[in-house]
Structure 1
């Protein structure tokens, strides 16, 4: 197995582990917060991180086709987690914001996920290293999406 094949296997294992951990986190949230689909979670996460984003920006960043994005956004609005506001600079444009209920939901998730991971990652330096690495990976993936 050459260097490229070893790296390919490592990267596959990294992706596989991220998915496995994601399943555990998804299962832990069902008792702690408002129920939502993975598509709704992707949209909500983006709006939480980018309040005031436009629907177009959020759809592009989450890589959802417009019909799936629109359906997820409608469901989040129906659940009271997202609100639309007219853009003060251009009334034809809409901005998306998380609601107070979304903030409460996020605090419930923070409690549940912190409890779940506390035993698995008790070392602060290890947690910081993992966060730094995963943020860099996400940034690179988002930059790749915006270039396409």
Structure 2
């Protein structure tokens, strides 16, 4: 990797982090009060309903105490419910609630409005989304967690 590529990749990561902070603030401005850890846990459960707490903790790369705290807060907010595994009653599966689905739709409206001004071209948006999915998939595969 040459210095130009190294600088570009660093800038990409820095911009992703900055954009994430702006989106987090926009969510808070809309009345949502979630920590970044709660957001990471909720995102995993939304994308993989029925996963176990162990799977979610490993995939989000959170230590068990931080994961447990985030999960408890999400349960208190009515966003996550636990269900016994039908094959093994000792195991608990995590599912998003109806309230979580409503919140996700609200978040989709908020973030879509915000980003539509910045990236109005549908094809450009598709390219950016595809690139970011590729980056996320690579990073997940690299850690062996998903």
**How high is the TM-score relative to the length of structure 1?**
0.94
Structure 1 partner of 2:108: 110
2-structure distance, mates of 1:90, 1:34: 35
Give the equivalent residue in structure 1 for 2:21. Answer: 23
2:75 maps to which of 77, 92, 95: 77
- Counterpart pick for 1:8 among 6, 9, 23: 6
CA contact (8 A) 1:33 1:109 kept: no
* SS of corresponding position for 1:83: strand
Matches within 5 A, 1:40-59: 40-59=38-57
Q: Following TM superposition, where does structure 1 have runs of at least 4 consecutive aligned residues deviating by more than 3 angstroms?
A: none
Measure how far apart 1:131 and its partner are: 0.4
Q: CA RMSD in A?
A: 1.1
Cross-structure match for 2:126? 128
State the Cα distance separating 1:23 from its structure 2 match: 1.2
Match of 1:38 in 2: 36
Match in the other structure for 1:137: 135
Distance in 2 separating the partners of 1:56 and 1:85: 14
* Unaligned segments of structure 2, at least 5 residues: none
**Equivalent residue pairs, number:** 145
Q: Determine which structure has greater relative contact order: mean sequence separation of CA pairs < 8 Å that are 6+ residues apart, divided by chain length.
A: 1
TM-score (norm 2): 0.96
Deviation at 1:118, TM superposition (A): 0.6
